[in-house]
Amino acid sequence: MPTTTWNRHHVLSLADFKSAEYDTVLQTAASFQEVLSRRTKKVPTLQGQVVANLFFEPSTRTRSSFELAAKRLSADTLNFAAATSSMTKGETILDTAKTYLAMGTDIMVVRHKEAGVPNAIAAEMDRLGVKVSVLNAGDGQHEHPSQALLDLFTICSLIDPNHPRLELLQGKKIAIVGDILHSRVARSNIWSFIASGAQVHLAAPPTLLPKLFAEYIFEESELRSQNSEFTTQEFITSSSPSSPPTPQLFLHWQLEPALQDADFVMTLRLQKERMTAHLLPSLREYHQLFGITSTKLQLCKPHVKVLHPGPVNRGVEISSELMDDPEFSLIQSQVTSGVAVRMALLYLLGSGKA
């Protein structure tokens, strides 16, 4: 295990993550990846601790991944389901969290359709003065830290399986394509990829551009016209105050500029359940303009890899053929990486509670 000290009590967002923290998670996950390759895949690291999965929103990959990760660490698990809970009788979210606290929970993994719920539970635990850690497993359109960290781990492990680290993505071009407006995954990924020094290119129809980031993006008005693509950039201040800032974040209303010479392409699901208006003419037109196919990947670097956080709408955001192509697709690797990364997060949050 890495010897770096971990002082973070909760994992709610990647906005304030430091480079050393990213590397600690990556290296710890690499250690657990090795554990998962053994015949005996269980370690006693969190034996006697209780991990409560408080999922107020449906989930397959994230919930199963966290549950398996906790069991691989020998922790006891409690699984909450909103449909069969006392919330149907009027119990509040904070009362539910305090019920699990009274059962001896050490770590709460929280997923909710509304942004800010994990933060509210963490604040309540801190107010009560208890040593319970809260891990955000996805909240509304805010963030999904563990998904972004497993995406980061998947990419870095591909480049250097023995020593995955943040600096490996320095200067790489990463395209994120799809429903960025509603995507908590995209928001967390932007923080992690920018922290690595990568160039991040977002591509989506105008109706699905992330307005949340408008205040951080320098708008080049001379590039905006009726007949040309609207391009914006975010400038991250470089280490030297006298040098010009380096552009790292780019927005595109067309797919081709984002894919040009890209090293990695992440495509996102159209989150129709979060769309409150008719934002697209049709799924067929979306696939024609923004769907990722083998033909469109020819714009990228020859060894480009494709990611998708799942669940996947085959034939919409990505062609079924490309999704199953082991030469390009890292989608199954993301699922596998999820257990190791979530083991790492639970270990780092729980190791100080013994």
**Which residues are documented as binding site for carbamoyl phosphate?**
61-62, 111, 144, 147, 310-311
> What is the rounded CA–CA span in Å between residue 332 and residue 258?
24
* Phi and psi torsions of 228, nearest 5°: -125, 160
Annotated binding site: 61-62, 89, 111, 144, 147, 184, 269, 310-311
> What is the rounded CA–CA span in Å between residue 92 and residue 82?
11
Annotated binding site for L-aspartate: 89, 184, 269
Residue 18 burial (C-beta neighbours within 10 Å; 0-12, 13-18, 19+): exposed
> What is the rounded CA–CA span in Å between residue 84 and residue 147?
27
